[in-house]
Structure 1
């Protein structure tokens, strides 16, 4: 398997430097820059091709190992090139974008650059921001680490460990410490093994950095919900290590106690069930699937009840069929779970759904206009409507696609949910949005790229001749309600 690691652009940067007789700002310098640019543009046209691996089926064990090693090295080389390009994108936004203040704003420029990279790569904004931040560090202060990645000597996991353990090291001592880390990293350590050794090396050499690092890490504490499969989700918390350990220990002790009392559940199941019992109201505890609440009747003053939207047809609701229901923001759930949630719901919101197309026709028949409009848009959007953003619509803001001050109407086909961050991006004009069709949002990035986001559910705004259905007609959906109306939308008319 042959591979050529020279790609267009790597060799095209030598003509527009600052030295030599033609290196100034005059016509000759401009000509050199134009010539360099034309070479690069021509190279982009040939930035295609194929890397073929033939005869895999006849490889012996040694040959397969060699090929796998070379493929891994190629992947590491690609990651190094991505880091260079990500750093260049950040530089473009930092150096060429001025904002309303007339001044450069590095933080905002970085944020916009990361958003642009996220949409190009199709990854979450946080992932792109992390990679762009790492790219900047590699290109600025850790060129030796970047070179090791480019040569294939290090995996990206090793690189991240080097960068992580290099934080808060005095600038004058950083190159020497980086060299020590790299010497350990290339000695055949796996990523996890190297991370442990690198942390010990830093703590032994620079023990005074531990407190500062812990304070910085403490500011990043959070709770994360990650939807899983088969009606389950992961709920994780990033906490101080000693508190996380104490919580886990307490859950384990309680689980062992339940087992000693004869509970047949496994320890992992008990830990999860006890955690749920502690955080939810007693009446919300699920006794299905053989699960029983742990004793004690404990309560928690921090409990809160929010809105949960479940879409379920009337036949399933009353047990006439077993069609899956839809938990808003998650996806399909079992009809048994949906019926239980309907029984426990404090209030219902009827949802009319076309039985043939399954399109949502309207949500709610309340006289209170803002609540109906809010629920309708929430059912349609599901999340923030920015490309790739998954912030739930419940914690997002309702925005006029065409601003109200510019004649935009307060109607369903000129409204969308945006999280606070992306609402600011649109309001400030960095990203531009339009709604060519009701619910279809088209975005233009600062780099001129266009993206389209579709609604979470297909909605029909004003279908003619639709009779008013009874509250429990086919196509109804129960939903506990209780979310406040966003400020400023008290007088908006409903979309139906």
Structure 2
């Protein structure tokens, strides 16, 4: 990287200048995040070239790239792998979102949210996916990430080219249960299920737990 960037003496800034400087820093951070995405993608490409002369074969390139990036940035390999996965998706498939991030229009969290929402549209509907991405990019820079997620979900329901019944039939095929270890001998048990089944399971567990409440029960 080349160039030099400086900040005026902070103690000499008035209120308006301080806020403007914070905005500049936010835009710079977004630009840096865009460069990080490009570099993480390049790291993956280089590993692929070293292993088999190109992308995609055998699948050894991703864990090796994650190990290399994780060691360089002092990140767990799983975190580095997630960074690479998000970065390659952004760089290779969503250049409009990448350019908006690079221009400082919104934060990395906004960019990830855009990608997450757009990828929920089947790739067979390319025109609908592109139109959805354009609308999300326009929205993202005007609100917080949490509000953006809410608005994006509502927009997705209006613009999705498939009916809700068709989407549900496809989503049911992806149901799963997974166990994730936690601290102190504990673990998280997660299930991805149709809403009615998930709500029924939760209701039965909640009812059973409430039935155990009493003056001698210390648990909440």
> TM-score normalised to the size of structure 1?
0.38
How many residues matched? 210
Structure with larger RCO (C-alpha < 8 A, sep 6+): 2
Q: Could you tell me whether the CA contact under 8 Å between 1:74 and 1:152 is conserved in 2? A: yes
| Residue 175 of structure 2 corresponds to residue 223 of structure 1 | no
1:194 to 126, 148, 171: 148
Structure 2 residue aligned with 1:185: 140
* Structure with greater proportional strand content: 1
| Residue 131 of structure 2 corresponds to residue 176 of structure 1 | yes
User: What is the CA-CA distance between 1:124 and the residue it aligns to?
Assistant: 2.2
Aligned equivalents of 1:132 and 1:109: distance in 2? 11
User: What is the CA-CA distance between 1:115 and the residue it aligns to?
Assistant: 2.3
Structure 2: give runs of 5+ residues left out of the alignment.
none
Structure 1 residues 123 and 250: alpha-carbon distance in aligned structure 2, compared to 1, 3 A threshold: farther
Structure 1 residue aligned with 2:18: 64
Structure 2 residue aligned with 1:154: 106
Aligned equivalents of 2:30 and 2:14: distance in 1? 24
User: What is the CA-CA distance between 1:68 and the residue it aligns to?
Assistant: 2.2
Q: CA RMSD in A?
A: 3.0
Aligned equivalents of 1:63 and 1:210: distance in 2? 51
Structure 1 residue aligned with 2:215: 262
Structure 2 residue aligned with 1:143: 95
User: What is the CA-CA distance between 1:66 and the residue it aligns to?
Assistant: 2.4
Structure 1 residue aligned with 2:32: 78
Residues 90-110 of structure 1 deviation map (CA, whole Å, 9 limit, x = unaligned): 1112233139xxx97252222
Q: Is the partner of 2:67 in helix, strand or coil?
A: helix
Q: Could you tell me whether the CA contact under 8 Å between 2:132 and 2:159 is conserved in 1? A: no
Residues 295-343 of structure 1 deviation map (CA, whole Å, 9 limit, x = unaligned): xxxxxxxxxxxxxxxxxxxxxxxxxxxxxxxxxxxxxxxxxxxxxxxxx
User: What is the CA-CA distance between 1:60 and the residue it aligns to?
Assistant: 4.5
Instruction: For 1:67-466, list aligned pairs within 5 A.
Output: 67-98=21-52, 105-167=57-119, 168-169=122-123, 170-186=125-141, 188-206=142-160, 207=162, 208-209=166-167, 211-213=169-171, 215-216=173-174, 218-219=175-176, 221-227=177-183, 235-240=187-192, 242=195, 244-259=198-213, 261-263=214-216, 265=218, 269-270=219-220
Which structure has the greater CA radius of gyration? 1
2:9 to 42, 54, 63: 54
Q: Could you tell me whether the CA contact under 8 Å between 1:97 and 1:104 is conserved in 2? A: no
Structure 1: give runs of 5+ residues left out of the alignment.
1-6, 9-46, 271-496
Aligned equivalents of 1:237 and 1:85: distance in 2? 35
Q: Could you tell me whether the CA contact under 8 Å between 1:83 and 1:132 is conserved in 2? A: yes
Instruction: For 1:8-47, list aligned pairs within 5 A.
Output: 8=2
User: What is the CA-CA distance between 1:51 and the residue it aligns to?
Assistant: 4.6
Aligned equivalents of 2:101 and 2:15: distance in 1? 26
